[in-house]
C-alpha cells in the first residue's frame, strides 16, 4: 500500500511524489467522493506552488460534483475553526507544508468537526489510492492566491473574541508572521480588533516563507516578539534578553493562569513540564508527536489544554487544533492583566537542559533488541533524577535519536558520554 500520510497530513518536495498535479488531484478526488462530502473549504499558504496545487484540488472537487468554498490565503487554524463551527461545511483541505521550506508543500485534511482526519480515514485514502483509476483534468480556477474570503474570516474573529478579553489588551507584542499564511490575515485582524500587533515578515514572495524567520527558526525571532510558522498553527517567542520561549514554556504559563487540572504533551515535551504538573497536582499525559494525537488525548481525558514543544498549542474552548493567533491573544491578554513581560515566562518556567545524540543505524531494529542498551538507559536514568532518556528513530532517515534530559548539566554530560561510548562499541 502506498504511504501518503506522515505525522501531519501529506507533505513532500513539490514536483515529486506525492506533491505532483496528478497525485494531488487523485487524493483530493478520493477524499471528496469516498466520504460523501458536499461543501469542502479550501485554503492555502503563500508558497509559489500553492497556486497550482489549489487549482488541482479545486478541479478534483468539482469533478466529483462537490462544492469547493475558497477561503483564500489564511492560517490552518482559521480553516479548522470555520469548518468546525459553520454547518455549511463537512470537510476542509489546507494546502501547506507548515514549517518546511518554500519548495515543499502538502495537504492537511479536516473532517466536519474541524479536526484532522483520523488514522482510519488516512489509511482508507491510501488503500483507495493504489486502485483508483482516473484521468487528471485540471483547470485554472484561481489566478491570484493572495486573497482572503473575509466573509468567513469574520466568523473566526467573532468566535475567538468570546474567549479573549480584548479590552484588557493595552500593550501588544510584535509578531513575526514568517512571510506565510498570517501575512495577509494579520492586517485584517488588526482592523477587526482595533489593535496594532506590530507585525513583521509580512511580505511573501512565494519563496521566502519560513526563510530565516518565524517559529521554525527561533534564532531569527527579534527580541521581545512572538512568531508564527508558515501556516500559523505554531507560536514561539523570545524575551528582551534573547531567551527562546517554546511550546513547553507556553503550556506551563497558561496552565498556571488558566488553573487547568489536566495537561497533554508529547513524548518530546520537556521533563520540566512533568515536574511542574506534579508540583501543582495537575494530571499530565504524553502522546506520540503530532498535534492530532494531542487533541485525541485531550478529548479522551477531558483536558482543555495541550501542545507540543514546537509551539502547537491547543486551547479547546477556542479551537480544535494548534492556533498561533488565538494563543497569541490569550497570552497578551494575561500579560496585560497581570502586568507581566515575556521575561516572566522564560524565567519562571525554566526547562531542563537537553541534548540529543544521533546514531546512524543500518536498520531500525526494536530498541529492546539492541543488546545492553535498555539496561544502560535504566542505570543512567538513576543518576538523572527527574530527567530521562528517550530514544526514537527518525521517521525519514536511518538515525536513532536519543534525547537526554536532566535538571543538572553534570549528569547530562556523563550520560551523553556513556551513550556515545556504548554505540562506538556496538553495531546497529
Which pLDDT value is given to residue 239? Answer: 97
* pLDDT, average across residues 274-298: 95
163-348 under CATH 3.40.190.10, yes or no: no
pLDDT, averaged across the chain: 95
Fold designation for 10-149: Alpha-D-Glucose-1,6-Bisphosphate; Chain A, domain 3 (3.40.120)
* Contact indicator for 19, 5 with CB cutoff of 8 Å: no
More confident: 138 or 224: 224
Whether 124 shows a pLDDT value over 70: the answer reads yes
Which pLDDT value is given to residue 187? Answer: 96
Q: Which CATH superfamily includes the segment(s) 354-425? A: Alpha-D-phosphohexomutase, C-terminal domain (3.30.310.50)
Q: Annotated catalytic residue: which of 50, 80, 98, 310?
A: 98
Whether 134 shows a pLDDT value over 80: the answer reads no
Summarised one tens digit per residue, pLDDT across range 55-73 is 999 999 999 999 999 999 9
Which pLDDT value is given to residue 395? Answer: 67
Which pLDDT value is given to residue 396? Answer: 62
Same fold for the pair 10-149 and 163-348? yes
Q: Which pTM value belongs to this model?
A: 0.92
Which pLDDT value is given to residue 394? Answer: 80
Which pLDDT value is given to residue 262? Answer: 98
The fraction of the chain above a pLDDT of 90, given in percent, is: 89
Whether 135 shows a pLDDT value over 80: the answer reads no
Weakest mean pLDDT among 158-172, 200-214, 318-332, 381-395: 381-395
12's grid cell: 513532500
Domain boundaries, the chain: 10-149, 163-348, 354-425
Whether 254 shows a pLDDT value over 80: the answer reads yes
Q: Is 167 a catalytic residue?
A: no
Weakest mean pLDDT among 44-53, 285-294, 332-341: 285-294
Which pLDDT value is given to residue 170? Answer: 96
Amino acid at each position: 500500500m502506498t504511504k501518503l500520510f506522515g505525522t501531519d497530513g501529506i507533505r513532500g518536495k513539490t514536483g515529486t511524489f506525492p506533491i505532483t498535479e496528478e497525485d494531488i488531484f487523485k487524493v483530493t478526488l478520493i477524499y471528496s467522493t469516498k466520504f460523501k462530502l458536499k461543501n469542502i473549504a479550501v485554503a492555502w499558504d503563500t508558497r509559489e506552488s500553492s497556486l497550482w496545487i489549489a487549482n488541482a484540488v479545486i478541479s478534483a472537487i468539482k469533478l466529483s460534483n462537490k462544492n469547493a468554498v475558497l477561503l483564500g490565503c489564511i492560517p490552518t487554524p482559521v480553516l479548522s475553526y470555520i469548518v468546525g463551527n459553520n454547518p455549511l461545511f463537512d470537510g476542509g483541505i489546507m494546502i501547506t507544508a507548515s514549517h518546511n521550506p518554500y519548495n515543499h508543500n502538502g495537504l492537511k485534511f479536516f473532517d466536519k468537526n474541524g479536526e484532522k482526519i483520523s488514522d482510519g480515514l488516512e489509511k482508507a485514502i491510501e488503500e483507495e489510492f493504489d486502485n483508483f483509476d482516473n484521468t487528471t483534468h485540471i483547470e485554472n480556477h484561481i489566478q491570484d492566491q493572495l486573497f482572503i474570503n473575509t466573509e468567513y474570516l469574520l466568523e473566526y474573529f467573532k468566535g475567538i473574541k468570546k474567549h479573549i478579553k480584548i479590552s484588557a489588551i493595552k500593550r501588544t507584542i510584535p509578531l513575526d508572521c514568517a512571510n506565510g499564511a498570517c501575512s495577509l490575515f494579520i492586517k485584517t485582524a488588526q482592523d477587526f480588533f482595533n489593535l496594532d500587533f506590530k507585525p513583521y515578515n509580512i511580505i511573501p514572495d512565494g519563496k521566502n516563507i519560513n526563510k530565516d524567520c518565524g517559529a521554525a527558526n527561533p534564532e531569527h525571532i527579534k527580541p521581545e516578539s512572538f512568531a508564527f510558522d508558515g501556516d500559523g498553527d505554531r507560536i514561539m517567542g523570545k524575551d528582551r534578553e534573547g531567551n527562546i520561549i517554546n511550546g513547553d514554556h507556553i503550556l506551563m504559563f497558561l496552565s498556571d493562569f488558566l488553573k487547568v487540572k489536566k495537561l497533554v504533551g508529547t513524548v518530546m515535551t520537556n521533563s520540566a513540564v512533568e515536574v511542574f504538573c506534579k508540583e501543582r497536582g495537575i494530571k499530565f499525559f504524553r502522546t506520540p508527536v503530532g498535534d492530532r494525537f494531542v487533541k485525541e488525548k485531550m478529548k479522551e481525558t477531558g483536558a482543555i489544554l495541550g501542545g507540543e514543544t514546537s509551539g502547537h498549542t491547543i486551547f479547546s474552548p477556542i479551537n480544535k487544533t494548534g492556533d498561533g493567533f488565538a494563543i497569541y491573544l490569550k497570552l497578551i491578554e494575561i500579560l496585560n492583566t497581570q502586568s507581566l513581560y515575556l521575561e516572566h515566562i522564560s524565567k519562571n518556567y525554566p526547562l531542563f537542559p537537553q541534548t540529543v545524540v544521533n546514531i546512524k543505524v543500518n536498520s531500525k531494529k526494536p530498541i529492546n533488541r539492541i543488546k545492553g542498551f535498555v539496561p544502560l538507559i535504566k542505570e543512567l536514568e538513576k543518576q538523572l533524577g527527574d530527567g530521562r532518556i528517550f530514544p526514537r528513530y527518525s521517521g525519514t532517515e536511518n538515525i536513532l535519536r536519543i534525547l537526554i534530559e536532566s535538571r543538572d548539566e553534570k549528569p547530562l554530560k556523563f550520560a551523553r558520554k556513556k551513550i556515545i561510548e556504548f554505540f562506538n562499541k556496538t553495531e546497529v
